[in-house]
Structure 1
Amino acid sequence: MFYTTYKCSPQVSSHTKGFLTLNGFDKGEDGGAPSECDNHYHSNDIPVVALSTGWYNKGSRCLNNITITANGRSVVAMVVDECDSTMGCDNDHDYQPPCDNNIVDASRAVWKALGVPDDKWGGMDITWSDA
């Protein structure tokens, strides 16, 4: 099967539109391998995210914070990983297809901080900016 891949993402602004997805950053979860930024796993009880390849920008946002806004609330989360838009369907990517170019893949803590009911977790339009 062939998937669309991306090397770029939309331009970052003070209100960059993106799509929030749910990811597990602990060992054995759907994130796959340890985080790209520090080669560690992270607790899902802290607000951490993976960004699409273009926004990840070869690690330039690693361990920096971004502000995510949705559902009438905002949360600050640390960038710890890349949501690879160029590769997928292998062990390092938990056999998932490549990410779209507008993904902010977030831990449970981000969803909780945004006040989204558990049964609505999975995908939601957001805006984000560098914190």
Structure 2
Amino acid sequence: MNVTWSTTSALAILVCASFTLSFGVRYSPLLGQCSPSGYLHGKASHCNTEHDSECCKAGKMYPQYHCSPPVTDETSATLTINSFAKGGDGGGPSECDGEYHSDDEMVVALSTGWYNHGSRCSKKIRINANGKSVLAKVVDECDSVYGCDADHDFQPPCHNNIVDASPAVWDALGMSGDDVGDYHITWSEA
């Protein structure tokens, strides 16, 4: 009977440990992936739909990420478009400097994990797309945790692999029209 109890206890402990680890670990270096840390319940309200920005939908569950994929010499990402200007679809002023930025400035926001508590603020990143390479300054966080509120212009949290760029960055990459929106790129620290 002790053997059965010990085997059952060991199995229960193993199951509990696996369950705890699966919910406690958000980024798995062994798997090279970043998993959602939770889900945000969407609330509907009016948002600025400039550049086809998505507005939160009531009842929809949006994944939240505290992490982003690892940064490499060619970090794979999705380039999105954002206005950092006052009244633009970016919402409030930039996190890094508390300022708004003209659509003519070469600026970006990075997903929460890449933004890394502001450690990349005012630093340049190199963006490679469409056979071109440009430098842009990090001025904001593309929040991958919070959203669907006034501070985030009632837009959902960003995915964990976003480089949200001003129209000037898109122009410098020679992209316009149907190319603008979600575009696969690579980026690195400059």
Show the counterpart of 1:28. Answer: 87
Q: Choose which of 131, 140, 146 in structure 2 pairs with 1:87.
A: 146
Other structure's SS at 1:111 match:
helix
Distance 1:117 1:105 in 2: 15
Other structure's SS at 2:64 match:
coil
Larger Rg: 2
The structure carrying a bigger helix percent of its residues is 2
* TM-score where L is the length of structure 1: 0.98
Q: 1:124, CA displacement in angstroms?
A: 0.0
Q: How many equivalent pairs are there?
A: 131
Q: Choose which of 66, 70, 74 in structure 1 pairs with 2:133.
A: 74
Q: 1:92, CA displacement in angstroms?
A: 1.1
Residue by residue over 1:71-118, the C-alpha shift from the partner in whole angstroms, topping out at 9 and shown as x without a partner, is 000110000000000000011111000000000000000000101123
Gaps of 5+ in 1: none
Show the counterpart of 1:17. Answer: 76
2:189 matched to 1:130? yes
Show the counterpart of 1:96. Answer: 155
Q: Which has the higher contact order (CA 8 A, sep 6+)?
A: 1
Residue by residue over 1:16-62, the C-alpha shift from the partner in whole angstroms, topping out at 9 and shown as x without a partner, is 00000000000011110100000000011011000000000000000
Q: How does 1:42-57 map to 2 (within 5 A)?
A: 42-57=101-116
